[in-house]
Structure 1
Amino acid sequence: MFKSFQTRLVLFFVALFALVEAVTFLAVQNGIIKTIYAQAQDQLLTARGILERQISATTDDLAQGTSILATDFGFRQAVATADHSTIASALNNLATRIKADRIMLMSVDGIVTTDTGAAADAAARGDIVTLGKANAPFPFATMTETAERDGRSASIAVLDGRIYQLVVVPILAPVPIAWIAIGLEIGNTFAADMRRGSTVPVEVTFGFADEMGKWTLAASTLEEPLRGDLAAALSAHTPSGAPETIKMEGDDYVTVVAPIPGPQQGSKAYAILQYSLKLALAPYRTLFLQLIGIATVVILFILVSVSLVARTITKPIRRLDAAAQRIQIGQYTEKVPVQQSDEIGRLSQTFNQMMEGIAEREDKIAFQARHDMVTGLPNRVAFEVHIATLIAERAPMAQRRFSILLLQIGRFSEINNTLGHNIGDELMRKISRVLKDQVRIGTFVARHASNMFALSLATEEEAIEIAVIERILAIFGEPVDLDGVNVDVTGSIGVARYPDHGLIARTLLQHADSAMYVAKKKGITHAIYDADLDPHRPERLSMMGELRQGLEKGQFQLYFQPKVDIATGTITAAEALIRWAHPDHGFMAPDHFIPLAEQTGNIGRLTAWVLDSAVKQSRLWADKGIDVKIAVNLSARDLMNRHLPDTLGAHLADYGVRHDRLILEITESAIMEDPINALGVLNAFHTMGLTLSIDDYGTGYSSLAYLKSLPVHEIKIDKSFVTNLASNPGDEILVRSTIELGHNLGLRVTAEGIEDAAALAILDRYGCETGQGYYISKPLAVAEFETFFASSQWSPKRNAVGDWIRPSTAAAGG
């Protein structure tokens, strides 16, 4: 609520002084109240003494008047003779003279013979009434006993719900012949007279309690609402006789409840004296208002003074606060003024030093956040910002183009694992220096990932783009010296162009990465983004989820392309090729979904299905007398699966197929991805007696020494060297040398991609054992293959009778 330190400081001191003033005021007020309370107690005790004296004086008057009547001879004679008229006249005269409220005449044995009751006025008129009291015993026997002993008895008594000042004297002749009791009612008039006789404004009340403790107020100077509060308060607890405070109508009254001596019989009467504290405090109200006024003035003075002092104290703190806020938003240039040599001044100096340190560290952190610590080049984040800036600059003029190049360093993981990460870092530093030296000014170079560099090329000319790519690839033309070891390093480049291949940085980088992936898969040095080859385009991503469903729903089937023994012209084997009968996209070749299967991890399921189907088909053909081996392709992921040999062995055992009836074809690149694991799986296959073939030979990077160490039985020349064999002398030289190399290593040789008879003749002339291609047959469904096997020119049945003429012989004869 109060965020300002200055405000809190002012409020603290003002509150402190206000608290002191309040405590002082309350102490003074409490002292005055205590003094007034003590004075009120003293006044009540004084009033109590006055009350007792007034009651005593009134009692004496009553007793004197009563004694005169009791000693009057005529009255005594009237009583003795029961002269009622004389008695009535005498009692009327006495009541008038002493203003008595009640007169009672009792026989000597205490029976009331005459009682005026409460009708004092009627008695004064000579109309004595009994109101049912005659012939009833006098209720206060102890008073007649005292009067007989002492000559009179005086007391305050409760009679018929009223309180009387009652005097009893005997009528002697000369012994008691009767008793006379005269009572003066203690009513409101009596209480008011008592109040007027007091020196202080005391409230006077007379009352009594019944056997249940309920109080009745017979007389009081209080107003009616106050009387009810007093009766309720007295009924709620038993008075102690000591001064106490009773609240009535919201005001406090100091109260003394004094018992009045009375006869033993009947209820006891009490005199209740009260002093209002409100009236007692009235003279001090002016003093209290003056104290409050003085305190208010003092607090206002303190508020102004403390505000000025606090402003002075907090001014340097506000400067520090402003500096802290500047630090929060990254502004470090404006220093805090140092105007003091005390703690605040030293704190200001420390703040300035802290800002300098933070600025230096933030510059360092900002550099590290945007740069690679190994090469010092901008990192991926900085490159994306740079690309976004280029796009923003060119957005108004979309015709201005630029290119993004992603360069991936091959064998980087192998170098790290073999020579150590420090050597890998040194390689990246060397390549980064060469990149900055080789590319032209204006090209932005960054390290995009651990084994990847990114470049932006601000040109619209394709020739310049190609020249830069060639300069980059020239880096890898010579081995790189790494700590005394010459290492051959390769590179693959993917190119994406703005705005043709994307309008935002993320899309361009994704497409450049896709192009680089295509270059690696095709074994070429660089590739420009092609949406048709993008494995991440939406329809291909959708197809990833459909591939698993296709396996479950039986949408895949095997086609078989015949492989013939060139020397005999006989079908000896068939390559199993998977096809996907997609419900929406139709018949799909492996190139469209095998990469997807590898990316999604479904290649294992796909391979398991192919192996199971191929082994099963081998069993079915064997049962039909179709004697052919079946070749199955394995991917790089398959060679990572150490459980694959056991799985394949189980399939062969389940269908009862000999191991030599299956040929496994593996590409050079698949083996080179993880040579150690691949070699372990191949050795397991070799031990099982399976035939192993190196597929697409000539397109990879395997050395002759490494090829010799593999447990393979044949090599398969890639179709790119065979398709134009008859018309391309260069291809013929390569094919011939490959065949000779295979034979020298003790391997059989198969050629794929045979498109014409001339190519078949050349292969036969150089001793190639097996041929495959569209010249012989396209891939066929199972039923079509069985027909082809039985009736084509390559049928073993037909060539068994000598119909076959070797291609080389036919070509020489022609």
Structure 2
Amino acid sequence: MRAAVGFRLRLALFFVATLVTVQLVTAALVYGVTRRALVTEGERQLAVNAQAFVAQMDDLSARVAGNVEVMALDYALRSAIAERDHGTVFSVLRNHGRRVGASRMQLVGLDGVVEVDTADVRASGQRFAFPDLAEHAFDRRTAAVVSLQAKAYWVVVVPIYAPQPVGLVVVYVPLDDALLAHLRELSALPGDIELAVRPGVSGWVAAAQGLKHAGLVASLAGQALPMRPAVRSIKGREYLVLAQPLSQARSSAPVVAVLGYSLGDALRPFRAVVIAWAILLGLGLAVGLIGAWLTARSVSRPVESLAGAARRIEAGDYRALPRLDRRDELGQLAAAFAAMADAVRQREEHIRQQALHDQVTDLPNRVAAEAAIDRARDAGTTHGALLMVGLTRAPDIIKTMGHSLYDRLMREVGARVGRVAASAQLARATDTQFVAWLPGADRTEAVASALRILDALNAPYVEADVSIDTLPALGIAMYPEDGTMASVLLRHGEVAQFAATGSTRPLAFYDAATDPHRTERLSLMGELREALDHDRLVLHYQPKLALASRRVDGVEALVRWHHPRRGMVPPQDFIGMAEDTGNIQRLTRWALAAGIAQASRWHARGLELKVAVNLSARDLGEAELPLRIGRLLSIHGLPPGQLTVEITERAVIGEPETAMRVLKGLADLGVGIAVDDFGVGQSAFAYLRHLPVSELKIDQTFVRHLARDANDQTIVRSIVELGHRLGFQVTAEGVEDRGALEQLAAIGCDHAQGFFIARPLPAAELAGFSFERAGIA
């Protein structure tokens, strides 16, 4: 029921959301178009209002000037001016100023000096503030808007004749709030109007604000006044604002009329439309919600029935679905659902067969084998044997004969193993391996079964005129000794099978000590990094005996690791893994630094011992290696000739160009270069003539039995002669008896190294040895 309600709700929400979206988009479009039209009309209306306001100001100027001109014809005034009767003039000007609405009247002499001022008696004797208005007053009537003390005035200047010009009457009509409101009413301006003056550089200030006091000028403080209609935000409301310059005296601060038109007031008539739209939206939402709910209800019941059937299918119940007696899409869906359930059942059976069986041999696969082993364990089986059978030549057979023949071969191999190991649970583990699980078998029974399987597979596979030897190899892992989990037992069986593949005997038991993948070896790498970080490694030095003088004049530095829990870790347990994981370069850097430092200490004590340090293939790929070694030699003050680096032929073959550059850089430093394990590489002579080598080290396989093996003597003699002809020193490794030592001396070998001379020693013991054993005979 919860699913049905959820579907109904989602459907209803979809319809409602669609309706709301359409309505909101429509409203936004209508609002945008309406607002744009109102703004355009407001801009036009604002420009018209500005012109009307200017016309009202001009009309005011004409009326005031007319009254003043009538006053100028007054005989008593002209006589008083001519007789300089300032008291009479003051009285006449004040009375007349009251009649014309002036707050200030002035009489200005022909010399531009104020003679009478009705507002400020102290102004008498001062220069007229707006001389540019007085310049043309006798030619024509002059009037302009001026700014005095941050207030705006309409100034009219009229000449006085008696009958010659005797002075100028200046009328100051204040452009204050009351006058501004009066002009606004006369011109029927629909918006707000204010006057702004700019007395200095500080910005515009309001000189008059009309009746509404919208604060247009104050709200635009710090902004440029718009000389063309523009939208501005004032007190949280949007206004169309226009600044109209007024005619003014040149000597006055600027005065402008700022007109504002509220967009909110313009949009007020549309509120009824918005309310009507909101009502329609609410009704539409209600109708849409009811319709969506009814539609979802008609769909939810058959959907619930199908959902119940789907849950039965999920649980593995493929019974026939209930059929819907309807011909619409839901009826078609129910029919298709029933067909799908039947198809899923058939495919599931097929997939189950494929998931647990090999497609080529039809034997159980690795997954099935693991399940069988785990079932035997859970059933209480106490012991058993797992036999992993592999074909050594499988890759060659595939490459040569193709996959079709190989598949037929695998079917034959499975059949042979099944015939000779009938009691075993047989499975195909990989493309090249079969596994036979023998629950309850001991080691003797496991070996007997393994030998029967090997005998059966040793017979060649014959098809037409083709005869194929499979060369089987078989590994055995015992349960529970080699693992209690099926996956572990299979993995150990594979390790044993790989071990048998690489040995002369095609049968091997799992040996944890030789398992290259055991977890202890993997954890060893992390512990090696920690040992490098905390300086827990040491170098031991194996002496090199100069056969001519029978004195020790060199050593080979060999890494030793005293593990706090494992004790002494053999180099073969971590050197190879360090190379595989990339830690070998850190190990080499540490060995170089430690070896050079020790050689420097010996050198300072007068003990001249050349120290040899081994380099890996990764080290020869580091172009900065010569610089690194050069810095170490310089830091410790060791002559470069006291250091030798040992390389193998395989290390050079990996990246020959980079290796050649690195070796040349080391040779240019004066560092000796020795080729280690010489004679066992695949390209020794091909690369030898190109390497800047100073020494060859004969591999110990040719030296260990030198005293009694004539072939080894011939090989060693040839290498020594070759090295001497090329100008190289020759060192023989692996000297384990006096006979080998004497043979090397007789052949003419330069140095010998091996356990007969000395095992690798700590630095503290080596100094004493070098003097005690100096005369080996």
Q: TM-score, normalization: structure 2?
A: 0.51
Query: For residues 104 and 346 of structure 1, do their structure 2 counterparts lie closer, same or farther at Cα, with a shift above 3 Å needed?
Result: same
The answer on whether the counterparts of 1:377 and 1:446 sit within 8 Å (CA) in structure 2 is: yes
Identical amino acids, percent of aligned pairs = 22
What residue number does 2:25 align with? Answer: 23
Q: What is the rounded CA distance, in whole Å, between the counterparts of 2:276 and 2:61 in structure 1? A: 48
**Correspondence list, 1:420-435, <5 A:** 424=409, 427-428=412-413, 431=416, 434-435=419-420
Instruction: Tell me the CA shift for residue 51 of structure 1.
Output: 7.0
Q: Secondary structure at the match of 1:617?
A: coil
What residue number does 2:374 align with? Answer: 388
Match of 1:158 among 146, 158, 164: 146
Q: Which amino acid aligns with 1:247?
A: S
Instruction: Tell me the CA shift for residue 506 of structure 1.
Output: 6.4
What residue number does 2:281 align with? Answer: 295
Q: Which amino acid aligns with 2:235?
A: E
Match of 1:616 among 696, 704, 707: 707
Q: Which amino acid aligns with 2:134?
A: A
Query: For residues 609 and 320 of structure 1, do their structure 2 counterparts lie closer, same or farther at Cα, with a shift above 3 Å needed?
Result: farther
Q: Secondary structure at the match of 2:318?
A: coil
Query: For residues 609 and 353 of structure 1, do their structure 2 counterparts lie closer, same or farther at Cα, with a shift above 3 Å needed?
Result: farther
Q: Which amino acid aligns with 1:19?
A: T
Q: Which amino acid aligns with 1:140?
A: L
Q: What is the rounded CA distance, in whole Å, between the counterparts of 1:101 and 1:59 in structure 2? A: 17
Q: What is the rounded CA distance, in whole Å, between the counterparts of 1:262 and 1:245 in structure 2? A: 27
Q: Does 1:229 align with 2:199?
A: no
Instruction: Tell me the CA shift for residue 186 of structure 1.
Output: 1.9
What residue number does 2:513 align with? Answer: 538
Q: Does 1:182 align with 2:167?
A: no
Q: Does 1:279 align with 2:265?
A: yes
What residue number does 1:144 align with? Answer: 137
Match of 1:333 among 315, 318, 322: 318
Query: For residues 45 and 313 of structure 1, do their structure 2 counterparts lie closer, same or farther at Cα, with a shift above 3 Å needed?
Result: farther
What residue number does 1:116 align with? Answer: 117
Instruction: Tell me the CA shift for residue 389 of structure 1.
Output: 0.8
Q: What is the rounded CA distance, in whole Å, between the counterparts of 2:406 and 2:302 in structure 1? A: 54
The answer on whether the counterparts of 1:114 and 1:134 sit within 8 Å (CA) in structure 2 is: no
Query: For residues 283 and 538 of structure 1, do their structure 2 counterparts lie closer, same or farther at Cα, with a shift above 3 Å needed?
Result: same
Q: CA RMSD in A?
A: 6.3
Query: For residues 85 and 478 of structure 1, do their structure 2 counterparts lie closer, same or farther at Cα, with a shift above 3 Å needed?
Result: closer
Instruction: Tell me the CA shift for residue 393 of structure 1.
Output: 0.9
The answer on whether the counterparts of 2:475 and 2:509 sit within 8 Å (CA) in structure 1 is: no
The answer on whether the counterparts of 1:412 and 1:424 sit within 8 Å (CA) in structure 2 is: no
Match of 2:180 among 168, 191, 194: 191
Q: What is the rounded CA distance, in whole Å, between the counterparts of 1:401 and 1:82 in structure 2? A: 144
Q: Secondary structure at the match of 2:145?
A: strand
The answer on whether the counterparts of 1:106 and 1:138 sit within 8 Å (CA) in structure 2 is: no
Q: What is the rounded CA distance, in whole Å, between the counterparts of 1:515 and 1:173 in structure 2? A: 140
Deviation track 1:368-416 (CA, whole Å, cap 9, x = no partner) reads 454455654434543342222112111xxxxx65644749799999x98
Instruction: Tell me the CA shift for residue 202 of structure 1.
Output: 3.7
The answer on whether the counterparts of 2:389 and 2:474 sit within 8 Å (CA) in structure 1 is: yes
**Correspondence list, 1:631-780, <5 A:** 650=715
Q: Which amino acid aligns with 2:715?
A: A
Q: What is the rounded CA distance, in whole Å, between the counterparts of 1:516 and 1:269 in structure 2? A: 103
Q: Secondary structure at the match of 1:291?
A: helix
Query: For residues 324 and 173 of structure 1, do their structure 2 counterparts lie closer, same or farther at Cα, with a shift above 3 Å needed?
Result: same
What residue number does 2:72 align with? Answer: 70
Match of 2:48 among 24, 38, 45: 45
Match of 1:249 among 226, 229, 235: 235
Instruction: Tell me the CA shift for residue 158 of structure 1.
Output: 1.4
The answer on whether the counterparts of 1:62 and 1:167 sit within 8 Å (CA) in structure 2 is: yes
Q: Which runs of 5+ in 1 are unaligned?
A: 120-127, 148-152, 395-399, 528-532, 546-551, 555-601, 620-645, 656-780, 784-814
Instruction: Tell me the CA shift for residue 177 of structure 1.
Output: 3.8
What residue number does 1:757 align with? Answer: none
Q: TM-score, normalization: structure 1?
A: 0.49
Instruction: Tell me the CA shift for residue 479 of structure 1.
Output: 9.6
Q: Does 1:133 align with 2:118?
A: no
Q: Secondary structure at the match of 2:260?
A: strand
Q: Which runs of 5+ in 2 are unaligned?
A: 1-5, 522-540, 544-676, 681-698, 721-736, 740-777
Q: What is the rounded CA distance, in whole Å, between the counterparts of 1:352 and 1:173 in structure 2? A: 122
What residue number does 2:603 align with? Answer: none
Query: For residues 334 and 48 of structure 1, do their structure 2 counterparts lie closer, same or farther at Cα, with a shift above 3 Å needed?
Result: farther
Q: What is the rounded CA distance, in whole Å, between the counterparts of 1:67 and 1:89 in structure 2? A: 17
Deviation track 1:513-557 (CA, whole Å, cap 9, x = no partner) reads 979999xx9999xx9xxxxx9561538999xx9xxxxxx999xxx
What residue number does 1:89 align with? Answer: 91
The answer on whether the counterparts of 1:158 and 1:269 sit within 8 Å (CA) in structure 2 is: yes
Q: Which amino acid aligns with 1:536?
A: D
Q: Secondary structure at the match of 2:153?
A: strand
Q: What is the rounded CA distance, in whole Å, between the counterparts of 1:175 and 1:32 in structure 2? A: 64
Deviation track 1:712-739 (CA, whole Å, cap 9, x = no partner) reads xxxxxxxxxxxxxxxxxxxxxxxxxxxx
Q: Which amino acid aligns with 1:114?
A: E
Q: Secondary structure at the match of 1:183?
A: strand
Q: Which amino acid aligns with 1:333?
A: Y
Q: What is the rounded CA distance, in whole Å, between the counterparts of 1:133 and 1:488 in structure 2? A: 133
Q: What is the rounded CA distance, in whole Å, between the counterparts of 2:334 and 2:516 in structure 1? A: 61
Q: Secondary structure at the match of 1:140?
A: helix
Q: What is the rounded CA distance, in whole Å, between the counterparts of 1:31 and 1:409 in structure 2? A: 83
The answer on whether the counterparts of 1:377 and 1:432 sit within 8 Å (CA) in structure 2 is: no
Instruction: Tell me the CA shift for residue 27 of structure 1.
Output: 3.9
Instruction: Tell me the CA shift for residue 21 of structure 1.
Output: 1.7
The answer on whether the counterparts of 2:450 and 2:474 sit within 8 Å (CA) in structure 1 is: no
Query: For residues 330 and 43 of structure 1, do their structure 2 counterparts lie closer, same or farther at Cα, with a shift above 3 Å needed?
Result: same
What residue number does 1:203 align with? Answer: 192
Query: For residues 191 and 255 of structure 1, do their structure 2 counterparts lie closer, same or farther at Cα, with a shift above 3 Å needed?
Result: same
Q: What is the rounded CA distance, in whole Å, between the counterparts of 2:100 and 2:280 in structure 1? A: 61
Q: Secondary structure at the match of 1:111?
A: coil
Query: For residues 411 and 251 of structure 1, do their structure 2 counterparts lie closer, same or farther at Cα, with a shift above 3 Å needed?
Result: closer
**Correspondence list, 1:382-531, <5 A:** 382-394=368-380, 403-404=384-385, 406=387, 424=409, 427-428=412-413, 431=416, 434-435=419-420, 444-446=425-427, 454=436, 456=438, 503-505=484-486
The answer on whether the counterparts of 1:47 and 1:198 sit within 8 Å (CA) in structure 2 is: no
Q: What is the rounded CA distance, in whole Å, between the counterparts of 1:26 and 1:516 in structure 2? A: 76
Q: Which amino acid aligns with 1:454?
A: A
Query: For residues 348 and 282 of structure 1, do their structure 2 counterparts lie closer, same or farther at Cα, with a shift above 3 Å needed?
Result: same
Query: For residues 289 and 393 of structure 1, do their structure 2 counterparts lie closer, same or farther at Cα, with a shift above 3 Å needed?
Result: same
What residue number does 1:219 align with? Answer: 208
Instruction: Tell me the CA shift for residue 616 of structure 1.
Output: 1.8
Match of 2:63 among 42, 54, 60: 60
Mean Cα deviation higher: 381-390 or 29-38: 29-38
Q: What is the rounded CA distance, in whole Å, between the counterparts of 1:306 and 1:154 in structure 2? A: 79
Instruction: Tell me the CA shift for residue 163 of structure 1.
Output: 3.6
Q: Secondary structure at the match of 1:145?
A: coil
Instruction: Tell me the CA shift for residue 280 of structure 1.
Output: 3.7
Which of structures 1 and 2 has the bigger CA Rg? 1
Q: What is the rounded CA distance, in whole Å, between the counterparts of 1:336 and 1:54 in structure 2? A: 93
Q: What is the rounded CA distance, in whole Å, between the counterparts of 1:269 and 1:479 in structure 2? A: 119
